[in-house]
Amino acid sequence: MKHFNLFYVLEKSLKHCISAVGCTVVVCLLIFCRILNSNSLTTVRDDAFSGLPYLEYLFIESNKLETTSKYAFRGLRDLTHLDVPVTENTTVISLPRDLFIDLDSLIELDLRRNAFECDCRAKWLMTWLKNTNATVSDVVFAGPEDMKGKRLNDMTSLQNECVSTDFILHQSVASESLSVDTFSYKNDVYVAISAPSTESCMIFQWDHIEMNFRTYDNITGQSIVGCKSVIIENEVFVIVAQLFGGSHIYKFDDDQSRFNKFQDIEVSKISKPNDIEAFQIGSDWFFVIADSSKAGLSTLYKWNDNGFYSYQSLHQWYRDTDVEFLDLDGKAHLILASRSQVPVIYQWSRSNQKFILQGENPNMEDVVVVKHFRIKEELYLAMTRYIGDSKVLRWGTKQFAEIQALPSRGSMILQPFSFKERYCLALGSDYTFSQIYLWDEDNKIFDRFKEVYIQAPRSFTVVSTDRRDFIFSSSFKGNTQIFEHIIIDLSL
């Protein structure tokens, strides 16, 4: 079949080689096409050989070839032998992605006349080389200096290095907010936003069709400062902390698709709630309200099958701003940050069934928020300070040691978060841009990565749904912004 059309091919090849590639002499012998006279050939254009569907051999000789277009070899399904200086006489080059994708019959590919740069643009070629059945000449790198002479065929690591990350605005919620919390219930993802200006906990639900977060319910109240979800035995509760009128717990009603009041919290010792932390120790559910007034008392509440009741008073006279629950060497701990002293650590005592004051974090005045996170097996703390330096600490032998200081300009939050194997810190700022830092695994520190502008940021919360990752940034003076974390393929 193939050979039947040979003369047609021959004729067409002459025409097309001349018109498409601009070479002056084309010698075609039966199924063998050789393009000569290199001097004027600088570019192999898209569909340069489109009139030659049966072309089997292609050799291009040129000293001046500068570029090869992405679709230069489109449609050459019968091509078996290819020898191209895809870009010659330039020291470093890359090939257009998927340049060889149509070459189904390729048996031999000679790339020796090409000088490749070892960077992400060569990634597709590496993948292609691994899968092709053709015999390919060694592809040797010409640069950069430290990669000179290495074979592309031997590379394995390019894969992971060729992706980067970014945050783009996905949606904006026209409301100020203080805290954001997320929970999943029956295959749906919800977000609870405490919005003092609208006097509500706004409940949003991810819309799988519209691909955005839609308003679902509003728990209304009075000067709401915190909305924290807890799921106990398949029931969803939202703890609502208010500056006035006491604090309450709402329960999700499946039939009505809304939250109804479930209980009042006993708040005789709470005057100015600032943070809610909910957690489990063994099978028991607890939450703590950190109280930031001088007269108030941070209080631990425990679940008893009918509701939450106040269980232990923690910290008096200290104006606590934040409480963090964490597991330290297999034991439950709380870290409390206060306006008037360094952060203190409580340890859960199994015999007493209470938290016992264990120690403090010295030399860490003015910490407003403490968050913990893990990178691989290591445990870290992120300590937010309003002015001066916020700190990153690592858990070593029985204590936390500072590993990094991050300059803070009016910071109310230093939030750790991670997407797959990428670890980040978001450092809010009341006076300038907020900073996103990215973990550098080689140097074991965070590097500045991106600036985002948010007015008076108060929290950053990761929400993942439909294989997409979002970060909600609350703002005390502007809209609540929802950013999407995206992966950028640098090999494109």
Ligand X SMILES: *[C@@H]1O[C@H](CO)[C@@H](O)[C@H](O)[C@H]1NC(C)=O
Instruction: Kindly list the residues in this chain that would bind ligand X in the complex (CB under 6 A).
Output: 64, 89, 131-133, 198, 202, 215-218
Provide the minimum distance between the beta carbon of 66 and ligand X in the complex, in angstroms, as a whole number.
8
CA atoms within 13 A on the CB side of 286: 26
Cα 428–Cα 432–Cα 435 angle in degrees, nearest 5: 45
Query: Token pair of 274, please?
Result: 């600032």
Judge contact between 390 and 346, C-beta under 8 A.
Answer: no
Provide the minimum distance between the beta carbon of 202 and ligand X in the complex, in angstroms, as a whole number.
6
> What is each CA distance from 248 to 245, 251, 252, 300, in whole angstroms?
9, 10, 13, 15
* Closest to 469 (Cα-Cα) out of 450, 459, 484, 457: 484
In terms of CB distance, is 129 or 334 closer to ligand X?
A: 129
Give the whole-angstrom CA distance, residue 375 versus residue 424. 10
In terms of CB distance, is 50 or 198 closer to ligand X?
A: 198
In terms of CB distance, is 40 or 215 closer to ligand X?
A: 215
* Closest to 478 (Cα-Cα) out of 447, 453, 450: 453
In terms of CB distance, is 216 or 325 closer to ligand X?
A: 216
In terms of CB distance, is 132 or 432 closer to ligand X?
A: 132
Provide the minimum distance between the beta carbon of 222 and ligand X in the complex, in angstroms, as a whole number.
15
Q: Where are the alpha helices (DSSP H) in 100-150?
A: 123-131
Which residues, other chains included, contact 288 with Cβ-Cβ below 8 Å and sequence gap of 6+? 276, 277, 298, 299, 300, 301, 314, 323, 325, 334
Which residues, other chains included, contact 14 with Cβ-Cβ below 8 Å and sequence gap of 6+? 26, 28
In terms of CB distance, is 64 or 302 closer to ligand X?
A: 64
Judge contact between 457 and 473, C-beta under 8 A.
Answer: yes
In terms of CB distance, is 36 or 379 closer to ligand X?
A: 36
* Closest to 83 (Cα-Cα) out of 66, 64, 58: 58
Judge contact between 84 and 57, C-beta under 8 A.
Answer: no
Which residues, other chains included, contact 168 with Cβ-Cβ below 8 Å and sequence gap of 6+? 483, 484, 486
In terms of CB distance, is 255 or 377 closer to ligand X?
A: 255
Cα 39 to the chain's mean position, in Å? 49
- Radius of gyration of the chain from its Cα atoms, rounded to whole angstroms: 32
Provide the minimum distance between the beta carbon of 217 and ligand X in the complex, in angstroms, as a whole number.
5
In terms of CB distance, is 236 or 297 closer to ligand X?
A: 236
Provide the minimum distance between the beta carbon of 93 and ligand X in the complex, in angstroms, as a whole number.
12
